[in-house]
Structure 1
């Protein structure tokens, strides 16, 4: 018995000693979250069984155990479920038990994959994970983060992903066809949501056309007199797309211009609802004002359709060819009142109209210059196609008309002062009519035909080679007006300097005989042979510009100058070897000497 008591006492002493040893060898203080169990090592450790540590952790963290068992959440998707792999303790009160590398952390293992715009904030955990709360407690509902962005003010619930995506909050994928108001096939599909859903509540939006299109109804002239069932006439393909069929839906068939007429043209607004009005169908009911303006004034009765039709008020069906005066040519386009001054059916005295041309065209005869000198038989020259269509054949006279002469009015040549046109003798020379057009001031004589022809007065066939200044080289491409500044052609200068004074970069230092060096091929191409002066340009002299040596105006033949005249500054001998530099130097290079 004493032995048993001794053994028990020894065991107690050993246990107390072991616990004190564990505290003594503890590597450091526990983190703040575990501080309350720092004295109870058995809460996290089991002697001689290291694998028990994960089970002990889960005894406290039951939510983690549930995730691991159910293969859900972040811990449920980890391949290694050993707690100490990620969470270490005994590093002091201020140490964190959770250390996450945001750049490497795979958020998809949490059950909430970061896609679209969410991926842009992958390293900004605090955007969704509020301080003081566990990461696992973050709400995954869109509204938890986007409540401020919810312009619908929660009236559409919190299931934001039904319409919105992670790519862009403003980009929606809502299928409007699942509602009771289809957008397919019409202009509604192109309309922005806020145009109809003004307060962005969406639910309870008006579906009647008039709710959105009342302003259009007022502007189009209906002003509510057709009611609110716009779809009776209009379609959602376009406001102007009318499906109302006046031919089948009413007792009045619309033909011709009536189809293009506006409803209110016949259905007057002041007479009540347009579709309830009982209108007369006689033409004169709508066209009385037209009847008064056109000159009938009711004298032909109210059967307008006898002459007119729906294709156009001006389109008459009356056949004038059945009368004793068939209408042809321009007469077909003439208004009835132009001849029938007292009314279409005749004048007030019911007198037959005169069919002679002059009876209607006397004013034209006066204004066109004939003034009765051709008599009353206008049809001798004019046709009924147009008054200007003259059919008189001038080629049968002694002066056939060609070119522009065919377009000239008779009175331009047959002046009124000559008396009656027929039989008047007119000079046939160009100068007789075109003396005023002669801008050459008589310098070129009176034979205009040498240069001009009937095709056009400005088109000339003049051969410049026959003049005292034949055109060669680049001169053949120059416009006449460049040299002949006035039509007095002979006044144009023939000396080069007369036209090329601005081009003379020598400023007349080489005189005014430009042709000595330059040619008509090109101003930049010059033909002067300097060797003919007795001073051959070779070597470096060939590249020197003329005015480098010829500084003053050349009034005569230039005298040969010694080298030192130009190369005084280059003479390093300072005149010690005289002025004949060419005894030692060469023109190719001043520094190279003769051997």
Structure 2
């Protein structure tokens, strides 16, 4: 029985290989710092104010534990994110907020905010199919005819938006109309348009002679302003009750056309009947 090498794995070749490996690792650490083990450089875009004592993720590039919890810490990466991003933490409990709507569906911070992709890489990258754009105050319901990405409207910085983007895109569809529309209404598109329908819901109707109260507030703009494309078209709509309700008047006109004499905008009933009308 050969007992010259009781530890068969510790051959001269194995020892030399191990030493070479250690030298390579040590040399890499010496010249690249922790680069040998990093997943990639962190985003270096600086915020306007410090979060968690830093202005960018790159500021904590060598402090892995700031974002990656220990195995036995009982924390998740999402909880680590929220320790700095306290504004997002506050939104979590509000399902009507942007992050509240996203996080309630089981998404994590990394679902939309990847990192370790370089100092200039965007930190927001979302799947449009799951992003609740309604939470921003503008629906994409009327913008589903063509495929597009976030960058098509927001550019490289997903947190900003310029109304001129709307005009630039819609001029490609109808330059003549957009020129007239911009002159008539200006380029603050979001003041009137909400993305659900072409006319939107944000216009302050109380500034006209017909306030949208009660049931009238539930109507779509096009139900009264069908085909309107300019300010003059909108002004042609009459506020007379009979203009809309004559066709379904159960009184067949015998009580006149001033519905407001008995009915309120909230509902047909209860009604205050003036018996003098039946005299």
Q: Same fold (TM over 0.5)?
A: no
- Which is higher, the Rg of structure 1 or of structure 2? 1
* TM-score in terms of structure 1 length: 0.21
Q: Which has the higher contact order (CA 8 A, sep 6+)?
A: 2
* TM-score in terms of structure 2 length: 0.40
